[in-house]
Amino acid sequence: MSDADTRLTLEQLHCERDDRVLFRGLSLTARAGEIWQITGANGAGKTTLLRILVGLHGFYDGGRHWWQPDWQRELLYLGHQPGVREELSPLENLDYACALNAQGGDAMAGLKAVGLQGFEDVPAAHLSAGQKRRIALARLWLAPKAIWVLDEPYTAIDQDGVAQLDARIQQAAEAGTLVIYTSHHQVGEGVRRLHLAKGRAEVLS
Residue 20 and residue 199: Cα distance in Å, rounded?
8
Among 11, 12, 43, 80, binds other proteins (CB under 8 A): 80
Residue 175 and residue 162: Cα distance in Å, rounded?
20
Q: How far is the CB of 48 from other proteins (least distance, A)?
A: 8
State which amino acid sits at residue 203. V
Positive/negative CA dihedral, 125, 127, 132, 135? negative
92 binds other proteins (CB under 8 A): yes
Exposed, middle or buried by CB within 10 Å (0-12, 13-18, 19+), for 4?
Answer: exposed
Q: What is the DSSP letter of 129?
A: H
Q: How far is the CB of 204 from other proteins (least distance, A)?
A: 27
54 binds other proteins (CB under 8 A): yes
User: Total binding residues for other proteins by CB under 8 A?
Assistant: 34
Nearer to other proteins, 2 or 59 (CB): 59
Among 79, 105, 115, 130, binds other proteins (CB under 8 A): 79
204 binds other proteins (CB under 8 A): no
Residue 104 and residue 119: Cα distance in Å, rounded?
21
Binding site for other proteins (CB under 8 A): 16-18, 51, 54-59, 70, 72-73, 75, 77, 79-88, 92, 95-97, 99-102, 123
